[in-house]
Amino acid sequence: KRNTSLITCCSVSVRTNSGSFSCVSIFVFQCRFTSYSSFPPQNHHASCTLLYKKPFVESFEETPLLVAVLTYIGYGILTIFGYLRDFLRDWKFEKCHLAREREEQKDFVPLYQDFENFYTRNLYMRIRDNWNRPICSIPGAKMDLVERVTPDYNWTFEHTGNVLKDVINMGSYNYLGFAENTGTCADAASECTVKYGVGVSSTRQEIGNLDKHEELEKLVARFLGVESSMAFGMGFATNSMNIPALTGKGCLILSDELNHASLVLGARLSGSTIRVFKHNNMQSLEKLLRDAIVHGQPRTHRPWKKILVLVEGIYSMEGSIVRLPEVIALKKKYKAYLYLDEAHSIGALGPRGRGVVDYFGLDPSDVDIMMGTFTKSFGAAGGYIGGKKELIDYLCLHSHSAVHATSMSPPITQQIITSMKCIMGEDGTTLGQERLCQLSENTTYFRRRLHEMGFIIYGNNDSPVVPLMLYMPAKIGAFGREMLKRNIGTVVVGFPATPIIESRARFCVSAAHTREMLDKALNAISEVGDLLQLKYSRKNRNGSEGTDCFSFLESHQD
């Protein structure tokens, strides 16, 4: 039973029983390097064991001290040189490519804040070539990239006319491989385009409500196991425009600290009071819930009109899965509402591909608002909200995204319907189930191999989102460039999308990846890892974790 919270429990035993000192000291030494999370958390009451039907294992190995120090030094050096280059730009020694105010507008209030853009112009620009690469093919298991060069150190780019063919795509959210231009989905979308056209040019409440939209919403409701559902044309707007319709002034939103920007924006637009709890930390969440019940609203101390808990199924930067059974238990205990964002988990988790609720074998009715997007596993666009019929009827009248936004494009609607029926097995084939199994196998294999190579990777063992830690700023750009040289397309991520010392490469495993593709990608990752010295892990690299101090503690718990 591995969790950093065990340090507190064990330190108490040190004070009461000197005989356990040697065992505990080994445990604390190990926790300097590795943070594990398994069910059931040790500082939860015993009933937590009943909430999980299978082990829940997540790994967040701690940043080695030397790596953290060198990372800070690297950012410090870049900052010093950034100030030097700003000085040279101000005195016209270096050409300035920045957006600046015109001389005739010098008396106006500044439109651009130069200092706020310090990071962008002095650090991001150095490695900007790793992002926004033009793609000229289907972003499936393989893709074609347009080659480009920069004559001015990434301020502008020029296309050479060459195309990089058959680049293995390890960055797209194509979890089930439905991003394809052949097959039943593509054929159905093509036929739908001929019949309905590409756009609707109206809102659902006017003359933009097609029979396809209603067919999709009924299908989504059956897929999720809820009473009703509603589809929206944009996944980001599904969160940002619907949360303000559900909460307002006098309401409290409890948000996980790693929630997506769309959830954060929606919470801010609602006008509700927002409090943030530590990621996947049930003690932090329960404390906020308890305080909210006891103290009520600030100043007046009146009871909150509504308490809404915001969580995600899979956190896209961490690769972790929400502790949904415990969140639901707390939500029921304190009579709060639960908003679950399944953007990355729907279609990618669970034996039937029905998301994190299916993954844990829970009752969908225990989640008040089930949100998700069609942009990942379904290879389309848009989002949905599912729940009780009263909820959907309310949103039909009060959601800005429903009232003012243009309806979902017909071919996109058909793509979602066809792919969802494939996952459900209603297309008369077993293709959907085969893809779910293939995704699970690929995820397990890819994560295990990276562990064995000695990389630090974050997240849950069953998450197809696999963050590989890079840490140092110079290695962000170097990793992306070196991987592309080996014909592997990857996504590298740094500050402000991650903490400043936790830069990473994020791989997204797909059912469309063959074992040959994964092996080629893994060999390239290992080669680049050796070149850039990225194999920081201090864990046992043979894939076994049995002979460590945690197992010693478990065998001597009496």
Average predicted confidence (pLDDT) for the chain = 87
Taking Cα atoms as reference points, which of 394, 44, 367 lies closest to residue 358? 367
Domain for residue 203, yes or no? yes
Q: What's residue 7's pLDDT?
A: 34
Determine the average pLDDT of the residues in 91-104: 79
pLDDT band at 116 (very low <50, low <70, confident <90, very high): low
User: Is residue 6 predicted with pLDDT exceeding 50?
Assistant: no
145 contacts 163 by C-beta, under 8 angstroms: yes
User: Is residue 232 predicted with pLDDT exceeding 90?
Assistant: yes
Tokens (6 digits) for 22: 């040697």
Domain for residue 478, yes or no? no
Q: How many whole angstroms separate alpha carbon 222 and alpha carbon 219?
A: 5
Q: How far is CA 261 from CA 97, 235, 290, 312, in A?
A: 29, 12, 26, 12
Q: How many whole angstroms separate alpha carbon 209 and alpha carbon 233?
A: 12
Tokens (6 digits) for 370: 């089930």
User: Is residue 328 predicted with pLDDT exceeding 80?
Assistant: yes
- CB count in 10 Å sphere of residue 15: 8
Domain for residue 98, yes or no? no
Q: Please indicate whether residue 267 or residue 102 has the higher confidence score (pLDDT).
A: 267
Give the per-residue SS3 of 38-105.
CCCCCCCCHHHHHHCCCCCCEECCCCCHHHHHHHHHHHHHHHHHHHHHHHHHHCCCCCCCCCCCCHHH
- Sign, CA dihedral 428-429-434-439, equals negative
pLDDT band at 114 (very low <50, low <70, confident <90, very high): low
- Is residue 480 exposed (0-12), middle (13-18) or buried (19+ Cβ within 10 Å)? buried
Adjacent-strand bridge partners of 255: 276, 310
Q: How many whole angstroms separate alpha carbon 311 and alpha carbon 124?
A: 30
Predicted TM-score of the model (pTM): 0.86
Query: Three-class SS of residue 305?
Result: coil
pLDDT tens across 213-224, in order? 999 999 999 999
Determine the average pLDDT of the residues in 188-192: 96
Domain for residue 522, yes or no? no
Determine the average pLDDT of the residues in 447-452: 96
Domain for residue 6, yes or no? no
Q: What's residue 497's pLDDT?
A: 87
pLDDT tens across 528-558, in order? 999 999 999 987 655 444 333 333 333 333 3
Q: What's residue 39's pLDDT?
A: 44
Determine the average pLDDT of the residues in 263-267: 97
- How many residues does this entry show for the chain? 558
Determine the average pLDDT of the residues in 3-16: 36
Q: How many whole angstroms separate alpha carbon 293 and alpha carbon 336?
A: 10
Determine the average pLDDT of the residues in 324-351: 96
User: Is residue 36 predicted with pLDDT exceeding 50?
Assistant: no
Determine the average pLDDT of the residues in 442-446: 97
Domain for residue 14, yes or no? no
How far is Cα of residue 187 from the mean position of the Cα atoms in its chain?
31
Structural domain harbouring 232: 184-424
How far is Cα of residue 434 from the mean position of the Cα atoms in its chain?
24
Taking Cα atoms as reference points, which of 444, 505, 442 lies closest to residue 472? 505
Domain for residue 94, yes or no? no
Q: Please indicate whether residue 475 or residue 28 has the higher confidence score (pLDDT).
A: 475
User: Is residue 159 predicted with pLDDT exceeding 50?
Assistant: yes
Domain for residue 103, yes or no? no
Q: Which residues are CB-neighbours of 191 under 8 A, at least 6 positions away?
A: 414
CATH number (domain holding residue 287)? 3.40.640.10
Q: What's residue 40's pLDDT?
A: 45
Query: Three-class SS of residue 158?
Result: strand
Q: How many whole angstroms separate alpha carbon 393 and alpha carbon 486?
A: 52
Domain count, the chain: 1
Taking Cα atoms as reference points, which of 35, 28, 48 lies closest to residue 3? 35
276 contacts 262 by C-beta, under 8 angstroms: no
Q: How many whole angstroms separate alpha carbon 263 and alpha carbon 488?
A: 32
Looking up tokens 């191999």 gives 449
